[in-house]
């Protein structure tokens, strides 16, 4: 659970349109320092779009997003780059460069954003590779030589390269078997605790949602339908939340979460 209620992300009255299509309206929420916060909802509810807006890959049509108190819409390019250097991002499928080894992938952000010597960069990258639980041999391997779970870990190592305060994960467990997905969840929890990270993730994985998130925002009907702990959202009477949490997959995830407790 978050240790404070200090907001690191503040979204107010966000609205998103693509042409004439309204995607989001009246979205307001805060993410607190140290929490694992999920963005959930049905397919096409705008989860990835909201994440892209938070990480400054796209701009909302109206409303404001503040990160560490800075309003994103008012930042010049230099300030935006400075702020982005405080984020780590893991995209779906890991998105590692296939022509680079794991070590080269993890070292890349350090090469691009720091003046450090190549020896120090290698040492720092190897430290991150170890931190995510990869064996040292993985450092010289290419993504095609790794299992799905190892690729995700390598992608997390790269996202952590610049010691971010905020870690964004887009569908971290997509494509993983249940055992690897659970192991990745444990890694995310351990990293949050040991590195004092704030984690924001988009997920369709109900097991993961029950296992690691402190709070979640539920998107639907083009707006924010719920903002609470997963247990509280699962009790909601709204028909979309009921369908999501009390459908067969939702019930199984909830039952296994309770069995674990």
Contacting positions for ligand ATP (CB under 6 A) = 18, 23, 41, 43-49
Residue among 16 and 105 whose Cβ is closer to ligand ATP:
16
Which helix (H) or strand (E) element contains residue 208? Answer: helix 206-212
**Closest distance between ligand ATP and the C-beta of residue 91, in Å?**
12
Residue among 65 and 134 whose Cβ is closer to ligand ATP:
65
Q: What is the DSSP code string of 110-150?
A: HHHH----HHHHHHHHHHHHHHTT--GGGGGS-GGGS-HHH
CA–CA gap between residue 89 and residue 62 (Å, rounded)? 24
Residue among 40 and 156 whose Cβ is closer to ligand ATP:
40
CB atoms within 10 A of CB 83: 17
Residue among 47 and 153 whose Cβ is closer to ligand ATP:
47
**Closest distance between ligand ATP and the C-beta of residue 174, in Å?**
10
Radius of gyration of the chain from its Cα atoms, rounded to whole angstroms:
18
CA–CA gap between residue 146 and residue 148 (Å, rounded)? 7
CA–CA gap between residue 9 and residue 234 (Å, rounded)? 24
Residue among 31 and 191 whose Cβ is closer to ligand ATP:
31
**Closest distance between ligand ATP and the C-beta of residue 241, in Å?**
15
**Closest distance between ligand ATP and the C-beta of residue 173, in Å?**
14
**Closest distance between ligand ATP and the C-beta of residue 16, in Å?**
8
């Amino acid at each position: 659970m978050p240790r404070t209620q200090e907001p690191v992300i503040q979204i107010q009255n966000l609205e998103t349109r693509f042409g004439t299509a309204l995607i989001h309206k009246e979205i307001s929420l805060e993410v607190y320092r140290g929490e694992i916060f999920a963005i959930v909802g049905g397919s096409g509810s705008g989860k990835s779009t909201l994440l892209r807006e938070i990480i400054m890959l796209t701009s909302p049509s109206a409303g404001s997003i503040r990160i560490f108190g800075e309003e994103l819409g008012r930042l010049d390019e230099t300030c935006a780059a400075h702020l982005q250097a405080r984020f780590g991002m893991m995209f779906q499928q890991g998105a590692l460069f296939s022509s680079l080894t794991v070590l080269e992938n993890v070292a890349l952000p350090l090469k691009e954003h720091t003046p450090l010597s190549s020896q120090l960069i290698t040492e720092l990258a190897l430290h991150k590779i170890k931190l995510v639980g990869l064996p040292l041999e993985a450092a010289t391997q290419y993504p095609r030589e790794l299992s799905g779970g190892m690729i995700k870990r390598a992608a997390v190592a790269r996202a952590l390269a610049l010691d971010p305060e905020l870690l964004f994960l887009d569908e971290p467990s997509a494509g993983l078997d249940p055992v690897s997905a659970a192991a990745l969840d444990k890694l995310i929890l351990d990293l949050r605790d040991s590195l004092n990270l704030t984690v924001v993730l988009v997920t369709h994985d109900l097991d993961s949602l029950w296992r690691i998130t402190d709070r979640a925002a539920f998107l639907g009907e083009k707006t924010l339908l719920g903002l609470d702990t997963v247990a509280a959202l699962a009790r909601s009477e709204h028909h979309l939340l009921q369908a999501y949490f009390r459908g067969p997959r939702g019930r199984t995830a909830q039952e296994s979460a309770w069995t674990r407790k």
